[in-house]
Amino acid sequence: MALIVQKFGGTSVGSVDRIKAVAQRVQATVAEGHSVVVVVSAMGKTTDTLVALADEITDNPSRREMDMLLSTGEQVSIALVSMALQELGQPAVSMTGAQIGISTEAAHSRARILKIKTERLKRCLDGGNVVVAAGFQGISSGDDSINEFEITTLGRGGSDTSAVALAVALGGDHCEIYTDVPGILSTDPRIVPEAQLMAAVTSDEMLELASLGASVLHPRAVEIARNYGMSLVVRSSWTDDPGTWVRSAAVGNRSLENLEISRAVDAIRYDIHQAQVNLLHVPDRPGIAAQIFGELANAGVSVDQIVQSIHAGNTNDIAFTVREPMADQTQVLTESLAAALQPKGNDGCVVWSADRSVAEVSICGAGMIGRPGVAAKMFATLAAAGVNIEIISTSEVQVGCIIGPTSGETDLQELCDRAVAALKKAFDLEDPAQDTPPLLEDDPNLAPVCGVALDAKQSQIAIRQVPDRPGMAAQVFEKLAEDGISVDMIIQSQRRETKDGVPTRDIAFTLAESDVDTATQRLRGMATEEGWGAIAVSREIAKVSIVGMGMAARPGVAAQMFQALADRGINIHTITTSAIKVSCVIGRDRGKEAVKAIHDKFGLEQPPGGADPTNT
């Protein structure tokens, strides 16, 4: 007999008939001998209707009153689902977040879960009841009487998070998320109707796909599942099909205190056997990245990090790393590539360089999503340890820096040890850092690409000519974090320019479009004070990403993505990568077309080898 948490979304409890169907499904699970906790959302579009009501009264409702209002939606559905179960002869008890004892921070409308008291729940279950719990809500446990016992909500879509947190707190077997689609699809079905159902996906992939997954699964739910090794399945409310399993590696006994606000970073990875290659002043036109990485892939060179920084004039700089054993071969190839890419006219010339003494140091952790300041803390820590950052490349759950000794400095191993020791201390990590990122086995079941995501709500800001010395990236991102601005993709360019006798570099990043004005204002002030160059803003951008655990083991995956864009004449503004993700910033007007082209290129509309959905 297992303990299973079943969560039903708004559409699944959208009418009386659907509530009755939910009750039947729950009863069937109990009949199989399981204990069941049901988590429900508000019926249909209730939450939207309540938001609209508040809008009719005020443009600026207090967050506290919004929580009071929105939490009522779930209270209606728990009572009705409970009645429907009782009507079938199944004992059931409905409970609000407060009654269960889901204690949260006092942050209204976006509270994180601190702890869940499980005694009462367990007693109810032991008494043969199904517990029907209200999703999306909790009660604050502030350390003063004003903030205590306040009704809080977890943010829109937060019932998924309630469900996974309950499964973890109760030591459940797994968590089932029932919704109105058959499971998680390879891309948003509203953009690509032929998007295919994934049989399984890892929680790491799902987190990197946050912008894809956010609409079907609350990213915080995935974060909890990953941190506590909880299995999760997303499936249709209307069928018995198996849906999509979100798999997480087993973890040790992790404390249930501060369930959602534990560490922002849970691993430091480093690799000193990296060689960096720079191709500077390559023409800025569609097809160049495809050509470079296509040729490397054809020669069997597996590329780790790729960074294309913002263009300067009509040329781009592309830097990438390979593992050292590939360095000689890569160097020969790069030389011939640079020759082939030379512009015909008087447009400057492509130059290349290679550097064998670099190391990659990364911080990884799901906790950094939506938490401003984590990257800034890494940069500040490295600066304080006297480590200069050559290249920065970030993804949703990772910040990677390429570091190398400056002239007259100590050797690479010493530099890397210093960086890692400082980061371990700063992020409070007791676990020994792993030497190299664990190599992913060449398992045929690991798809090189499992999903394609589009984020069309971001903008990009570039700061030109920031002095190239330790601490500059920290200064920029600390100031933005102070304003509560989360940045997404950070890129520090490779090209150095001399301004007033000082070597400088450009730093670019993407951020939510809604934060652009605040960030620009803040940075313009800093640029004037510090004597940096111009602040360039590109509002109309889109970020397209591919994610897949299997890409690390297969050369040429990034090249295929670039080729798909080149085939459509879509120009790539910037590129960043992590071990399992490649992201490109392009013009927003081409975003959907790009997703379709990439989805098609990887054949995601065809089930790979007639994927067996039961093979999870």
- What DSSP state is assigned to residue 85? H
The smaller minimum CB distance to Mg ion, of residues 9 and 372, is found at 9
The residues that bridge with 508 in the sheet, in sequence order, are: 462, 491
Task: Out of 10, 172, 287, 373, point to the residue binding ligand ADP (CB under 6 A).
Answer: 10
Q: State how far the alpha carbon of 82 is from the alpha carbons of 75, 76, 95, 117, 520, in Å.
A: 11, 10, 10, 21, 51
Task: Out of 26, 100, 102, 216, point to the residue binding ligand ADP (CB under 6 A).
Answer: 216
Q: Which helix (H) or strand (E) holds 4?
A: strand 3-8
> Can you tell me the distance from the alpha carbon of 132 to that of 13, in angstroms, rounded to the nearest whole number?
13
Q: Please, what is the minimum distance in Å from the beta carbon of residue 165 to ligand ASP? A: 13
Which residue is listed with tokens 């009949």?
Answer: 31
Among the listed ranges 183-191, 315-323, 461-469, 595-603, the one in contact with ligand ADP (CB under 6 A) is: 183-191
What residue 47 binds from ligand ASP, Mg ion, ligand ADP, none (CB within 5 to 8 A, per partner kind)?
ligand ASP
What residue 184 binds from ligand ADP, ligand ASP, Mg ion, none (CB within 5 to 8 A, per partner kind)?
ligand ADP
Q: In the numeric block, which tokens belong to residue 466?
A: 């920031």
The smaller minimum CB distance to ligand ASP, of residues 45 and 356, is found at 45
Q: Site residues for ligand ASP, window 114-143 (CB under 6 A)?
A: 135-136
What residue 136 binds from Mg ion, ligand ASP, ligand ADP, none (CB within 5 to 8 A, per partner kind)?
ligand ASP
Q: Please, what is the minimum distance in Å from the beta carbon of residue 9 to ligand ASP? A: 6
Q: Please, what is the minimum distance in Å from the beta carbon of residue 290 to ligand ADP? A: 26
What lies within 8 Å, CB to CB, of 346 at 6+ separation is none
Number of alpha carbons in the 13 Å side-chain half-sphere of residue 144: 2
- Backbone conformation region of residue 370, classed left if phi is above 0, alpha if psi is from -120 to 50, else beta: left
Name the burial class of residue 127, with classes exposed (0-12), middle (13-18) and buried (19+) by CB atoms within 10 angstroms of its CB.
exposed
The smaller minimum CB distance to ligand ASP, of residues 136 and 379, is found at 136
- Backbone conformation region of residue 29, classed left if phi is above 0, alpha if psi is from -120 to 50, else beta: alpha
Give residues in contact with Mg ion (CB under 5 A).
9, 157
74 binds ligand ADP (CB under 6 A): no
Q: Please, are residues 5 and 224 in contact by the beta-carbon 8 Å criterion?
A: no
97 binds ligand ASP (CB under 6 A): no
By beta carbon distance, the residue nearest Mg ion is: 157
Among the listed ranges 208-216, 351-359, 412-420, 535-543, the one in contact with ligand ADP (CB under 6 A) is: 208-216
> Can you tell me the distance from the alpha carbon of 444 to that of 554, in angstroms, rounded to the nearest whole number?
11
What lies within 8 Å, CB to CB, of 597 at 6+ separation is 564, 565, 567, 568, 570
What lies within 8 Å, CB to CB, of 437 at 6+ separation is 269, 271, 362, 579
41 binds ligand ASP (CB under 6 A): yes
Q: Strands, DSSP E only, in 299-421?
A: 303-308, 315-323, 351-364, 389-395, 398-403
73 binds ligand ASP (CB under 6 A): yes
> Can you tell me the distance from the alpha carbon of 582 to that of 98, in angstroms, rounded to the nearest whole number?
42
Task: Out of 5, 6, 9, 90, point to the residue binding ligand ADP (CB under 6 A).
Answer: 9
Task: Out of 6, 179, 211, 560, point to the residue binding ligand ADP (CB under 6 A).
Answer: 179
Q: Please, what is the minimum distance in Å from the beta carbon of residue 292 to ligand ADP? A: 31
319 binds ligand ASP (CB under 6 A): no
Task: Out of 19, 81, 111, 184, point to the residue binding ligand ADP (CB under 6 A).
Answer: 184
Q: Please, are residues 488 and 509 in contact by the beta-carbon 8 Å criterion?
A: yes
Q: How many residues bind ligand ADP (CB under 6 A)?
A: 17
Task: Out of 42, 95, 206, 598, point to the residue binding ligand ASP (CB under 6 A).
Answer: 42
SS3 call for 506:
strand
Q: Please, what is the minimum distance in Å from the beta carbon of residue 163 to ligand ADP? A: 10
By beta carbon distance, the residue nearest ligand ADP is: 9
Q: Please, what is the minimum distance in Å from the beta carbon of residue 221 to Mg ion? A: 9
- Return the closest-CA partner of residue 13 out of 99, 125, 134: 134
Q: Please, what is the minimum distance in Å from the beta carbon of residue 210 to Mg ion? A: 14
Among the listed ranges 186-194, 466-474, 594-602, 605-613, the one in contact with ligand ADP (CB under 6 A) is: 186-194
The smaller minimum CB distance to ligand ASP, of residues 72 and 520, is found at 72
- Return the closest-CA partner of residue 67 out of 106, 116, 103, 40: 106
The smaller minimum CB distance to ligand ASP, of residues 10 and 287, is found at 10
Footprint on this chain of ligand ADP (rule: CB under 6 A)? 9-12, 41, 157, 179-181, 184-185, 187-189, 212, 215-216
Footprint on this chain of ligand ASP (rule: CB under 6 A)? 9-10, 41-42, 47, 73, 135-136, 156-159
